[in-house]
Chains A and B, each alone.
Chain A
Amino acid sequence: MKKYLVVATLASVLLTACSNGGNSGNVSTNAPTGTPTESTQSGSNEKAKEEPIEVSIMTHFHGATPPDKEGPVQKAIEEATNTTLNIQWNSANNYLDKLNVSIASQQLADLVLIPNSVPLDNNVFVQAVKNDIFWDLTPYIEYYPNIKNKIAEVAWDSNKIDGKNYFIPRPRTSESDWFFVFRKDWLDNLGLSVPTTDEELYEVMKAFTYNDPDGNGKDDTTGFTGHMWTGSFGDYKSFESLFTSANGDWKEENGSLVYSAFDEGERKAIEFLKKAYDEGLIIQDFASVTNDQKTAIFTGGKAGVLIYNSATFPTLVDVISQHTPDFDLMDLIPATAINGYTPKSVGFNGGNAIPKTVPEEKMKRILSMINAWMEDDIFAMHSQGIEGIHHTLENGKVVIDTEKVVADGLAEYTQIVFVANEYGNAYREDYPEEAITLFKNIQEERAKVSTAPFVGLASETGSTYLPEVIKDLNDMKIKIILGHEPISSWDALVTKLQNDPKMQQTIKEINESYQGRK
């Protein structure tokens, strides 16, 4: 056993030595807190003064393989940020387990990803903050222009714990969130226009099901395809929002928040879906299909309505065009707003936190690193790579070798640092002119009426109680749609929940948290 203690001690000494290596040669040890230790101009001569520091980053990836640490893009990023990166890539599926054991064994990397879309939903993280595990970054942010300005106000505001920010939110485009998308060619064939009300939506779905929209003489199409998963009503939440006008679980009414499932609109949405299901307008196996399967139904030309996002249209177009000639981007169209509702996204997804085991000077260096990484030309490497290897310049336009970019896994760097492009959810730079104009217009129209969700509100009772509530509500919705239960069961369930003291307590706590934010 002694031998193991020696090994363990040696190992921990080595680990701490590595993470403290950055302290050498640092000039401003007596500087007041809050001042950056490094000029934020990338490529300036002052950088030569300081040694690059080794930064360990814990993050996840979704693709087939993570990028190579000896690859040219990583080297370029390291040079621009004056660091040596030790990135611990983890599988996105089991990241939370890894995070938990890392916290439990006090083996956190220097920069840690909190992967939940809304990190404040991660109870372990919130407890960690309360136990002083992570740095309060609030006083430091203003010294790093890219971090401050390129991440939206709403992202910072939505992620405060006790009024402070304990992580850097990963910015995302907030406009043009996933919403109803239609086969424009089918709409044209049937002489229909993009729906703006739920009645029109119903008519479109019906026409897609019964009026042979693809003109092949076969009765092989349906209206809507979508999927759901345990704990979430998935794509079908979009229908609920049309009737409740709420984006997500909470809705503002007269200055306070109410639970959107208790709204009258929710009941109407369930009736809408039930009617649609009975008439065959949504896929019959809506409760069982996987994400892949539901998309395959759309790309296979068997359904005409999907919840999607115009910036990712190429994924659909690539597949549909393989069996439908002349199919291109303009054959898909997103709805602007239905019933006056269109969703706005929160503007962030997850966040990166720095544990307090990292000394203050190094923490500031890490912030500089992120700041430098967020420079446009550095960030561009995530999608373009290096000239000559991943893309070429032809007449001033960038021609990307997509296969090489995918093979090198460059997109995964986006999991660490991202710079949200205002129109990032509407179109991609390489779309044809008319597509760009169209989707840009749609986004601008949406921005006028879009509804943002309420996220990151804290409720102690709710953290253990709400998952059960959501499950019970979703289960009931499915049973009613399938016809196993009558709509009156929904009313009974809602009444029961409204009278449950735990629910009332949760609503009270959520509202307190909401008021605290204002």
Chain B
Amino acid sequence: MKLTTGEKIFNVFNIALLGLVALITLFPVYYVFIVSFTEPSEFVKKTIVIWPEQWSLDAYRYLLSAPTFLRAIGVSAYLATIGTFCSLLLTSSFAYAISRKKFRGRKFILMAVLFTILFSPGIIPNYLLVNSLGLINNLWAVILVSLTSGWYVILMKGFYDSIPDALIEAAAIDGCSDITAWVKIVLPLSLPSIAAFGLFFAVANWNQFFNALLYLNDHEKWPIQVLLQNMLVDASASGVSAADTTVARPASQQLKMAAVITAIAPIVCVYPFLQKHFAKGVMVGSVKG
């Protein structure tokens, strides 16, 4: 295929622009990454370190060897897998059902779901609910409270809207059962959205922090973000416990940055596997007319 000159220029421009965008957005993460490996003494003298003269794995050694951190990572992994699976199952089935035009009452349900996005009653009623369900200090409290939200349901439904009923009915007429039609037609078409929402849920579950703090009393059940956030945010400067002279020495910059990288790392590893679902277009058996 021959490209016009205009298209060639555009390609070059596009490549350059996107490269620049990537660099700009990458910079803060790169900085955090580098600081986490920098020997603290070097970091003190110059705040900006482009490339450390002295590399140090101390922070990571500390994070990955302390049993509390390892246990917390395990909890987060549990939440990220089980929680994501449950979230995807619930959201996609719900979203698919209400995307079908023949679902009676879908408009009412959509309005009800939309209402929950806009109005939320605050933490006390939610806590009282979880309490009455007997789920305080139970990891399932954390999973269930954030299983899904109106935002995900409505957005996912938007994806399912683009799968016309005609397609499914055509398959049915051709002799496929409901299940086969669902597996052969709906599933492949919704893979990109499942990949995207799977990623969203996984990230949200991996980053669970406030709900875990609220509902889990045993610190042994905490996911990793609770510990990491505690290191990052400087409670001693927030005014509540202003200048409490007994507060233990705060974590070093190196440790804090290592904490951030540890939190990001798993998602970064997972993302490439999901990327192939974001490729351009999906081959679909076409529907005439």
Contacts and interface: CB of A to CB of B under 8 A. Distances in A.
B247 to A, nearest CB: 5
Given A98-B214, A291-B236, A92 B249 contact: no
Given A63-B248, A104-B127, A92 B235 contact: yes
Contacts of A62: 230, 235-236, 241, 247-248, 250
Contact of A104 (B124, B213, B245): B124
A61 B124 contact: no
A93 B124 contact: no
Interface stretch (A156-164, A326-334, A352-360, A405-413): A405-413
Interface in B128-142: 128, 131-134, 136
B245 A172 contact: yes
A84 interface: no
A93 B132 contact: no
Interface in A411-466: 411-412, 414-415, 418, 424-425
A92 B239 CA distance: 11
A412 B69 CA distance: 17
B207 interface: no
Interface string A287-317: 0001110001001110000000101100100
Contacts of B240: 92, 95-96, 115-117
Interface centre among B41, B132, B229, B230 (most CB of A within 10 A): B230
A311 B245 contact: yes
Contacts of B235: 60, 62, 91-93
Given A4-B134, A98-B213, A349-B244, A93 B230 contact: yes
B129 to A, nearest CB: 10
A300 B44 contact: yes
A286 interface: no
B153 interface: no
Interface string B91-128: 00000000000000000000000000000000110011
B241 A117 contact: yes
Interface in B24-67: 40-41, 44-45, 47, 66
A137 B236 CA distance: 28
A100 B66 CA distance: 32
Interface string A228-271: 01111010000000000000000000000000000000000000
B47 A300 contact: yes
A66 interface: yes
B246 A172 contact: yes
A227 B237 contact: yes
Nearest to A90: B213
B242 to A, nearest CB: 5
B177 interface: no
A406 B255 CA distance: 14
A311 B245 CA distance: 9
Contacts of B246: 172, 349, 411, 414-415, 418
Contacts of A350: 241, 244
Contacts of B241: 60, 62, 92, 115-117, 349-350
B66 A66 contact: no
A312 B236 CA distance: 14
Contact of B238 (A89, A93, A311): A93
A45 interface: no
A107 B136 contact: yes
Nearest to B235: A92
A11 interface: yes
Contacts of A517: none
A60 B230 CA distance: 10
Interface in A88-131: 88-98, 100-101, 104-105, 107, 115-117
Contact-residue size bin, chain A (C-beta under 8 Å from the other chain): 35 or more
B267 interface: no
B239 A232 contact: yes
Contact of B245 (A63, A97, A406, A424): A424
A97 B123 contact: yes
A134 interface: no
A105 B128 contact: yes
A115 B235 CA distance: 11
A95 B237 CA distance: 14
Nearest to B212: A91
B41 A323 contact: yes
Contact of B134 (A8, A94, A104, A349): A8
B127 A229 contact: no
Contacts of B44: 296, 299-300, 319, 322-323
B68 interface: yes
A229 B237 contact: yes
A455 to B, nearest CB: 11
Interface string A59-82: 011111110100000000000000
A178 interface: yes
Most B Cβ at <10 Å: residue of A65, A66, A89, A117:
A65
B133 A7 contact: yes
A322 B41 contact: yes
B146 to A, nearest CB: 16
Interface in B66-90: 66, 68-69
B227 interface: yes
B213 A94 contact: yes
B174 interface: no
B167 interface: no
A97 B214 contact: yes
Given A107-B131, A300-B45, A425 B245 contact: yes
B244 A117 contact: yes
A178 B241 CA distance: 14
A17 interface: no
A220 to B, nearest CB: 11
Nearest to A172: B245
A65 B67 CA distance: 10
Interface in B189-231: 210, 213-214, 217-219, 226-227, 229-231
Top 4 closest pairs, chain A to chain B, by CB: A322-B41, A92-B235, A101-B127, A7-B134
Interface of B: 40-41, 44-45, 47, 66, 68-69, 123-124, 127-128, 131-134, 136, 210, 213-214, 217-219, 226-227, 229-231, 233-251, 253, 255
18 contacts: A4-B132, A8-B133, A62-B235, A63-B230, A63-B249, A64-B227, A64-B251, A91-B213, A91-B226, A91-B229, A92-B241, A98-B213, A172-B245, A300-B45, A300-B47, A323-B41, A409-B248, A411-B246
